[in-house]
Structure 1
């Protein structure tokens, strides 16, 4: 009897953990997504459980069977990669927002955005984290990459790179404009849009749940666009 009660309790806990909508979203959307979820809930929508990480890590988790209902990526490449593995994505995918790539430093820094490099520079992993991938493209386009590469401190997500800058553990960082805004850090320079691939955030349903489609429809609403704009995201 005791074993049966223990098993029943475990099943109830697992069921509770799965309650609500599961949204896997790029780390750079953390603040905006939390506000979007609150607005969605206030309008009668269900509760949302978030998993925030780099888009590459999230895409791999979903491909491995992680229980996600919606995926919001910080670049098109990772959504393309997952679309080839999850049937539902192509039918529900749309571009949610856009962003810009900026150069930041801790308060009081005298570092300049002029191609010279001094000290360590925080970036997302240049092979898997979208912000790092964009950063490498931009540095290569400007002819700075070979000189900057030894100074790059690669982080597991753009928010981790941002944290390094906030703590003063690096001399500067390359993040999204929305990250700099969220942290209240000064932007020393913005990388030219033509220096890297367009920073687009595609969103799509990973399951056929009606609630996933309902949340995606909310993300297309004027209310959602207003919240995204407040956090510094741009219209696509």
Structure 2
């Protein structure tokens, strides 16, 4: 009995001397799929300088991530590929409105390996299959549909669109030649394109600017470690990393 009590006393003493960082659970990040590499780089850099801070990062389509958070999935920070899904959570009191800000910016491009000359929106009708992220949950798909309508080609593309679960899957379809091309972000095309190359950049006048807003969740706003990492994501150091990966920061 004495031995058991001694062990318990040692355990309790050890817990008393643990730092808050050691006791804290890992930070949960829900992040748009197109930010995977840059956010992995940022979390690795931050972890080197902040011993004991760990991350659980969930990448996917912004809409799918927002619905997961709504259903109770753990998340301290949400970074979307458009404002709609941050609005969605904000309207449900699931984000800290005061923390909301722009993380980065991107461009929408059309990438493919087709031999046909395609230099603009008006030439899409000659293609057989075009991949976009499903507009219901993928902001890149929403930007693409917005651009089709603004360019007056939406009707001509009926039956040609192949829906992907996220922007990365759309890029994969183009890379494998399963479609003639895909509407993806410039950073994805530059990073992942081996066979598929950028054929043209969609004029920004045709769609809202590709913006990645971020916010602390209602849970994350209560955590000091989450607030500190959120500040790091807005730092000059983080902006340099974003620019290295091809994102715009203003």
Q: 2:131 aligns with which of 94, 115, 122?
A: 122
Where 1:119 maps in the other structure, the secondary structure is coil
The answer to whether the aligner puts 1:74 opposite 2:85 as a matched pair is no
The answer to whether the aligner puts 1:154 opposite 2:160 as a matched pair is no
Q: 2:226 aligns with which of 200, 212, 225?
A: 212
Offset, 1:127: 2.5
Is the contact between residue 181 and residue 231 of structure 1 (CA under 8 Å) also seen in structure 2? no
Offset, 1:149: 3.0
Find the aligned partners of 1:157 and 1:181 in 2 and give their Cα distance: 17
The answer to whether the aligner puts 1:235 opposite 2:244 as a matched pair is no
Is the contact between residue 75 and residue 130 of structure 1 (CA under 8 Å) also seen in structure 2? yes
What RMSD over aligned residues (CA atoms) do the two structures have, in Å? 1.5
Query: Which ranges of structure 2 fall in alignment gaps of 5 or more residues?
Result: 1-23
Map 1:56-75 to 2 at 5 A.
Answer: 56-75=63-82
Match in the other structure for 2:151: 142
Offset, 1:113: 2.7
Q: 2:210 aligns with which of 191, 195, 199?
A: 199
Offset, 1:88: 4.1
TM-score (norm 2): 0.83
Find the aligned partners of 1:88 and 1:158 in 2 and give their Cα distance: 24
Offset, 1:154: 0.8
Find the aligned partners of 2:200 and 2:189 in 1 and give their Cα distance: 11
Q: For the pair shown, which has the larger CA radius of gyration, 1 or 2?
A: 2
Query: Which ranges of structure 1 fall in alignment gaps of 5 or more residues?
Result: 1-17
After TM superposition, where is structure 1 displaced by more than 4 Å over at least 4 residues in a row?
A: none
Residue deviations 1:183-225, cap 9 Å, x none?
A: 1342111111110011111111112211111111010111110
Map 1:46-61 to 2 at 5 A.
Answer: 46-61=53-68
Match in the other structure for 1:96: 103
Find the aligned partners of 2:76 and 2:238 in 1 and give their Cα distance: 19
Find the aligned partners of 2:182 and 2:190 in 1 and give their Cα distance: 14
Alpha-carbon spacing, 1:88–1:53, altered in 2? closer, same or farther (3 Å): closer
Alpha-carbon spacing, 1:128–1:149, altered in 2? closer, same or farther (3 Å): farther
Worse-matched range after superposition: 181-190 or 68-77: 181-190
Where 1:162 maps in the other structure, the secondary structure is helix
Offset, 1:87: 5.0
Find the aligned partners of 1:216 and 1:141 in 2 and give their Cα distance: 36
Match in the other structure for 1:109: 115
Q: 2:92 aligns with which of 79, 85, 96?
A: 85
Find the aligned partners of 1:43 and 1:51 in 2 and give their Cα distance: 22
Offset, 1:230: 1.0
TM-score (norm 1): 0.88
